[in-house]
Amino acid sequence: QKEVEQNSGPLSVPEGAIASLNCTYSDRGSQSFFWYRQYSGKSPELIMSIYSNGDKEDGRFTAQLNKASQYVSLLIRDSQPSDSATYLCAAGVYSGGYQKVTFGTGTKLQVIP
Amino acid sequence: GAGVSQTPSNKVTEKGKYVELRCDPISGHTALYWYRQSLGQGPEFLIYFQGTGAADDSGLPNDRFFAVRPEGSVSTLKIQRTERGDSAVYLCASSLQDNYGYTFGSGTRLTVV
């Protein structure tokens, strides 16, 4: 079982719709959660971090965390073609005195104009 | 510098050769990480530095891989006797504190022929 699991997609949504990206993690000791966006051929870029249960909003992005269900999600409102990318979910666990971050394999999002 | 700088951006080497990959983190970031990303996969942890010391090198695949950060800033990942399976994008990231999200460099694409 992978430590951080994501559906590889592709997830296709029409322009202007809400894109919902989901992630589950296996280590209940995980304390920090991150979403990165990665355009094809580019490196990952941090877009959201969340540390406590509930929702965190930043512009068109909302991250949701449910530690009881070991579930993290990212909502993208008013999706734009420029949002088309692979979205990586990551979870951080404190081990050996520092936070070790494990990434999922990513979900490819396609926003159709 | 303004971002994490990695050189070279591309490296093609013959099987069995030695390579060095360089990472220059954001100024003031004490935490530095190396990850490796293969096509269609998420970044895979290799090694973490806090200052000059390797705090966690548990992700290094074998003893052909070694990394240093002698002055607590620039880091070099060294791979001896390269194998075709070492071909991947090697990503360096830094962060101000280890519970923050990372800033990734643009990566070094290593191809072993």
Mean pLDDT of A84-91: 98
Per the prediction, chain A carries an average pLDDT of 95
Asked whether the predicted pLDDT for residue A50 surpasses 60, the reply is yes
As a whole number, mean pLDDT of residues B40-56 equals: 91
| pLDDT over 90, % of chain B | 81
* A17: closest CA of chain B, how far (Å): 26
Answer yes or no: is pLDDT of B83 > 70: yes
Between CA B82 and CA B111 the distance in angstroms is: 10
Mutate: best of B49, B92, B104, B108, partner A, most A CBs <10 A: B104
Least-confidence region, from A39-48, A96-105, B80-89? A96-105
User: Predicted confidence band at B101 (pLDDT cuts at 50, 70, 90)?
Assistant: confident
Average of pLDDT values for B3-32? 96
Nearest CB to B104; choose among A43, A99, A106:
A43
Q: Give the DSSP letter of residue B8.
A: -
Chain A residues with CB inside 8 Å of B104's CB?
Answer: 43-45
- pLDDT reported for residue A94: 84
For chains A and B, CB pairs below 8 A equal 54
The amino acid that residue B59 corresponds to is G
Task: Check: CB of residue A111 under 8 Å from CB of residue A20.
Answer: no
Say what the pLDDT of residue A41 is.
94
**Is B104–A44 a contact, with Cβ atoms under 8 angstroms apart?**
yes
Closest by CA to B98, choosing from A94, A38, A6, is A94
